[in-house]
Each structure stands twice: as C-alpha cells, then as structure tokens.
Amino acid sequence: MTQTMPQPCERPSTPEAMAHAAALVAALPVLTTERLTLRAPTLSDFEAYAAIACGPRGAGLGGPMTRSDAWYDYASMVGNWLLRGHGLWSVEETASGAHLGFVVIGFEPGDPHHELGYMFNEGAEGKGFAVEAARAARDYAQSTLNVPVLDSYIFAGNHRSIALATRLGAEHVGDISYPEDDEPSRIYRHPCRAEV
C-alpha cells in the first residue's frame, strides 16, 4: 500500500536552511527549449514526483513505489547534482508554468553507463513535451558534460518509453537485469552528439 500523506521529511526546514537550499538550486543549470524550462527540482516538486512514482506510472520506475521509497528515489536523483555534477530536472511548460514531469541524467548502482531517464504526468502525454525535454537533457549531457555513452534503461513492456527513446534516435543494444526487478530492462543507446 502506498502512503498518501506527506511525511515530516517532506516539509520545509528552517528559513535559514531553506535559504541554503535556494542558493544551491540557483547554482544548477537551467535548460530552455522552444516550449519548456528544465530547472532544478525543489522540495515542493516532490508531490508531482510522488504522484508519478506511487501511481500506475510508477511501474516504469520499478514501482508503484511507497511514498517513502519515492522520497528516497527522488532524494537520490537530486543528490546526484552534488556528487556527480548531473541529476534530475523538473520540467515546466514555459508559457503556463505547468509542471509536466522530470528528466534525469543519472548513474545508479548496476548501470554500466550514464542514463537518460524521463517521467511525465499523464496530462503531458501526446504533445511532444517528453521528447523535447529528453533531447535537451541528452544534448546537455553530451555537449557540456562530455558524457561518452548515454543509455536509457527501459522495462520491455514500457512501450511509450521505448517509442520515445527510438524517436530520439536511440537503438536497442541489449538487455540488463537488476537484482530488485522481476524482469530485465532493455538498453537503448543514444547516438553521440556528432551523430545527431
């Protein structure tokens, strides 16, 4: 059963601590596309992440997750910014400010290469937002971070995610199994920036 109520760890800290958090957020890169803004995730964005991870859409992330597991997953991806210099972006429609989902340049235990991941809410489907955001994150990883290999690890049954990876030019290059998952994931390798 998933937890639906916010936990104490999800609430803002002291004003002084939140000022430190705001300074860190301001230091992270903001990417813009024709319609989107990819910005640093904040504490208030966790609710949108939990809605994805704890619901049916969480199956593509190894879930649905409990709210606590979603918190640890979210915190891990946000923490990658400090540890690895890349991580999770919140994706907004620039014109409306509507929160659409997330993209990530990650590297989790068991991953052989950097990962391009994406998770969007149902209302963002069918409008090209996910491919636009994922392309921006991919291009940043390759051109600014000089990431040599970028993969998307996708459950075989996640047809929408596979279609998005293919639309970005990624090719299925093999499968990978993680101990915590019931089924293997497919590895979709994204073309190098020079090939795009």
Q: What is the pLDDT of residues 62-92, one digit of tens each?
A: 779 999 999 999 999 999 999 999 999 999 9
State the Cα–Cα distance between residues 134 and 119, nearest whole angstrom: 10
C-alpha dist (Å) from residue 123 to 59, 78, 82, 99:
17, 24, 31, 10
Q: Is the pLDDT of residue 9 over 50?
A: yes
Q: What are phi and psi of 171, to 5 degrees?
A: -120, 145
d(CA 182, CA 171): 23
How much is the pTM?
0.90
Q: Does the pLDDT of residue 27 top 60, yes or no? A: yes
pLDDT exceeds 90 at position 162: yes
Q: What is the DSSP letter of 145?
A: S
Share of the chain above pLDDT 90, in %: 70
Kindly report, residue by residue over 112-156, the tens digit of the pLDDT: 999 999 999 999 989 999 999 999 999 999 999 999 999 999 988
